[in-house]
Chains A and B, each alone.
Chain A
Amino acid sequence: MYVELKNINKRFGDCQASKDVSFEIEKGKLIGLLGPSGSGKTTILRMIAGLEKQDSGDIYINGKLVNELTPSQRGVGFVFQNYALFPYMTVYDNIAYGLRVEGKDKAYIKERVTELLELVSLSGLEKRYPDQLSGGQRQRIALARALAPKPELLLLDEPFAAIDAKVRQELRTWLRRTIDKIGITSIFVTHDQDEAIEVADEIVITNEGRVEQVGDPVDIYLHPKTSFTAKFIGKSSVITDYRKLKGFNDEGEGTEAVIRPEFVELLTNDSPKGNDPSYEDAMVEQSIFRGDSFEVILDIDGLKIKANSPLVNGPLKSGDRVKAFINMIYIIRGEETYQVKNSSLDDSNTYFI
């Protein structure tokens, strides 16, 4: 394992920022630390970098125990949320900073800076100052600066948080490609699950200082192990009285259930298929047009459930009556989660798609 955290604990005053955090990262992987704000993900990143020291537990990088090493000794590149570019230095000097610290000669520095500017596709901006760059450009320069001394581990703290939505999307794919190109082990922190799912090879989900689940995005999305993960991932609706739903009446052991919009199949009231007894009668409580679909909140016998309605169903407005079929739900029992399919799907006589 390239990076290993073993039983890390960290406390800031009254706040337990890390509770017995352990996970491992393989070389060359891009890892997303995902969690709500205040869940301790940035603290983990900062402890790996050496900017914060854990109260107990061990951190290994490339097999070496780094507990006592300063940030500069760990060989780690760090990209800050607010970029932290030196505003009084040109782009060139910013990228060259780490190389000058290492005492590299001028010719090498020039070559390396040029190479990095090419990598981040910002050649020609050497003489600019950070305040003459856009947010996306600054972030790319910050990345180039972190990569300049050839670190073996790259850490990125909310790298896209301060960038507007459209550029963020582009930058995400760009970052993924760039990291693939240089093949550096990387960890990034984010509170945006779309970002983590799209970019990361593996996701570490944090909540209240603990690691909830580690796994690849598909696995985490499809098989949430803890109640927190089930509720946090996807646009989940959490309901308690799930036994009211058709096809789930006998599932007795859980306390709550989580339903994702994609589990709900929605038909208009005049659709013949909707007469099937396994379909629920539902009322649209809220409807938001999303361009490719309508995002609706349904009221099924008092339960509020989020669903998506495809455009073929026509526009939906609140008060409309529709038919809904729920394919599956995640049932939460204590800290655990298990998946249950609609019982009518087991019945071979039932017609379904």
Chain B
Amino acid sequence: MEKKEISIAERILKIGVISWAIVLIAWSIVGYNYEEIFFPSPAETLRALIEIIQDGTLGADILASLRRIGKGWGLAIVTAVPIGLVTGHFKPVRLLVEPVLNLFRFIPAIALTSMFLIWFGVDDKSKVALILYAAFFPIFVNTIAGVVTADKSLVEAASCMGAGKLRVFFTVIVPSAIPNIFTGVRLGLGSSIICVIAAEMLVGGDGLGYLIQSSRMYYKTAWAFAGIFTLALIGFVLDRLLYFAGKKTLKHFGVK
């Protein structure tokens, strides 16, 4: 009996209701002790959220940000995956690329924002390019890892059955790399979201980053809070959706 009670308590904890209650209570305590302009309470944030939903600002900004994420992240996937597959598969290419790659990985996209503005202009192009840059590396690095760690006995099994190099690449190497590619794609989505906000905060006229930045400038702190909360929710939902979609469709490739 006792064991069962523990497992129920555990389950409630896992859902996160209690954690969120604690956060909300703490937030409320802090929020009610300060002005809205300095630190809005949960209720004030909710009110602001409803305001910006009703006047259409939030919807438009979400769409603007999502469009940029979609473009940049999508471009990153279609470039990083094939380049990563080839790089991972051909050792000379890998040995050539890796030293440079290992340095570039540590240059965050945000550090390049102003350069990208000069190179690509102040419109969407520079933001998309920035997201592409940010999402490219996790996908690229993981794709290479997936190729390199492909099960050698599967390659041998295929060659024993007469498969040539090209067939081995497409029927063994690529499918074997899929779990790692998927991990890279998920990490790339995370980077894209972080990056789009940073880019929009620095320049631009719409998007969630702009909403957060401009609200703060106009002393609409509650709007900024509403924007931040929306942002967190979008990131969480997108990642979950991607995770479940991957788990469902790529199960046999070993995506867990």
**Which of chain A's residues has its CB closest to B155's CB?**
A84
**Which of chain B's residues has its CB closest to A157's CB?**
B153
Binds A, one of B16-24, B75-83, B117-125, B157-165: B157-165
Shortest distance between the CB of A153 and any CB in chain B (Å): 11
Shortest distance between the CB of B222 and any CB in chain A (Å): 50
Q: Mark A70-107, 1 if CB is under 8 A from B, else 0.
A: 11100011101010111111000000011001100000
Known: A80-B153, A87-B253. A49 touches B167 (CB 8 A): no
Any chain A CB within 8 A of the CB of B252? yes
Residue in B153, B154, B156, B157 whose Cβ sees the most chain A Cβ within 10 Å: B157
Which residues of A lie under 8 Å from residue B153 when comparing CB positions?
80, 82, 84
Q: Tell me whether A101 and B162 are in contact (CB under 8 A).
A: yes
Contact residues on B (Cβ < 8 Å of other chain), bracket:
20 to 34
Question: Which of these, B156, B161, B254, contacts A101 with CB under 8 Å?
Answer: B161
Please report which residues of chain A, range 200-228, place their CB below 8 angstroms from some CB of chain B when the two chains form the complex: none
**Which of chain A's residues has its CB closest to B152's CB?**
A84
Please report which residues of chain A, range 54-76, place their CB below 8 angstroms from some CB of chain B when the two chains form the complex: 70-72, 76
Shortest distance between the CB of B161 and any CB in chain A (Å): 3
Known: A87-B253, A88-B253, A129-B252. A71 touches B156 (CB 8 A): yes
**Which of chain A's residues has its CB closest to B175's CB?**
A88
Question: Which of these, B160, B176, B178, contacts A72 with CB under 8 Å?
Answer: B160
Q: Tell me whether A145 and B161 are in contact (CB under 8 A).
A: yes
Q: Mark A96-137, 1 if CB is under 8 A from B, else 0.
A: 011001100000000000000000000000000101000000
Shortest distance between the CB of B251 and any CB in chain A (Å): 8
**Which of chain B's residues has its CB closest to A93's CB?**
B171
Shortest distance between the CB of A199 and any CB in chain B (Å): 22
Shortest distance between the CB of B177 and any CB in chain A (Å): 11
Any chain A CB within 8 A of the CB of B185? no
Interface of B is mostly: helix
Cα A89 to Cα B170 in complex, Å, equals 13
Cα A85 to Cα B171 in complex, Å, equals 12
Q: Tell me whether A78 and B160 are in contact (CB under 8 A).
A: yes
Which residues of A lie under 8 Å from residue B35 when comparing CB positions?
none
Q: Mark A141-170, 1 if CB is under 8 A from B, else 0.
A: 000011011000000000000000000000
Shortest distance between the CB of A188 and any CB in chain B (Å): 15
Q: Tell me whether B162 and A102 are in contact (CB under 8 A).
A: yes
Any chain B CB within 8 A of the CB of A15? no
Known: A86-B172, A101-B163, A145-B161. A80 touches B156 (CB 8 A): yes
Known: A88-B175, A101-B167. A131 touches B252 (CB 8 A): yes
Cα A347 to Cα B157 in complex, Å, equals 61
Shortest distance between the CB of A89 and any CB in chain B (Å): 8
Cα A146 to Cα B153 in complex, Å, equals 14
Q: Tell me whether B157 and A87 are in contact (CB under 8 A).
A: no
Q: Tell me whether A149 and B151 are in contact (CB under 8 A).
A: no
Q: Tell me whether B156 and A86 are in contact (CB under 8 A).
A: no
Which residues of A lie under 8 Å from residue B175 when comparing CB positions?
86, 88
Any chain B CB within 8 A of the CB of A1? no
Which residues of A lie under 8 Å from residue B162 when comparing CB positions?
72, 98, 101-102, 149
Any chain B CB within 8 A of the CB of A340? no
Which residues of A lie under 8 Å from residue B176 when comparing CB positions?
88
Which residues of B lie under 8 Å from residue A85 when comparing CB positions?
157
Any chain B CB within 8 A of the CB of A182? no
Please report which residues of chain B, range 140-195, place their CB below 8 angstroms from some CB of chain A when the two chains form the complex: 151, 153-154, 156-164, 167, 171-172, 175-176, 178
Any chain B CB within 8 A of the CB of A311? no
Cα A51 to Cα B157 in complex, Å, equals 10
Known: A80-B153, A82-B153. A88 touches B254 (CB 8 A): yes
Q: Tell me whether B157 and A80 are in contact (CB under 8 A).
A: yes
Which residues of B lie under 8 Å from residue A78 when comparing CB positions?
156-157, 160
Known: A71-B156, A84-B151. A98 touches B161 (CB 8 A): yes
Residue in B156, B163, B167, B176 whose Cβ sees the most chain A Cβ within 10 Å: B156
Q: Tell me whether A49 and B160 are in contact (CB under 8 A).
A: yes
**Which of chain A's residues has its CB closest to B157's CB?**
A84
**Which of chain B's residues has its CB closest to A102's CB?**
B162
Residue in B157, B160, B163 whose Cβ sees the most chain A Cβ within 10 Å: B160
Which residues of B lie under 8 Å from residue A89 when comparing CB positions?
252
Which residues of A lie under 8 Å from residue B172 when comparing CB positions?
86
Which residues of B lie under 8 Å from residue A148 when comparing CB positions?
161
Shortest distance between the CB of B171 and any CB in chain A (Å): 8
Q: Tell me whether A88 and B156 are in contact (CB under 8 A).
A: no
Cα A88 to Cα B167 in complex, Å, equals 15
Which residues of B lie under 8 Å from residue A84 when comparing CB positions?
151, 153-154, 156-157
**Which of chain B's residues has its CB closest to A75's CB?**
B162
Cα A72 to Cα B157 in complex, Å, equals 10
Q: Tell me whether B160 and A76 are in contact (CB under 8 A).
A: yes
Question: Which of these, B151, B160, B163, B164, contacts A51 with CB under 8 Å?
Answer: B160
Which residues of A lie under 8 Å from residue B163 when comparing CB positions?
72, 97, 101
Q: A87-B254, A98-B161 are in contact. List 7 more A-B contacts (CB 8 A).
A: A51-B159, A71-B160, A72-B164, A84-B151, A86-B175, A101-B162, A149-B162
Closest 9 CB pairs of A and B: A98-B161, A72-B162, A84-B153, A84-B157, A78-B160, A101-B162, A88-B253, A88-B175, A71-B160
Give me 8 A-to-B residue pairs in the complex whose CB atoms sit less than 8 angstroms apart, sorted by A's number.
A49-B160, A71-B159, A72-B163, A77-B160, A80-B157, A86-B171, A87-B254, A89-B252
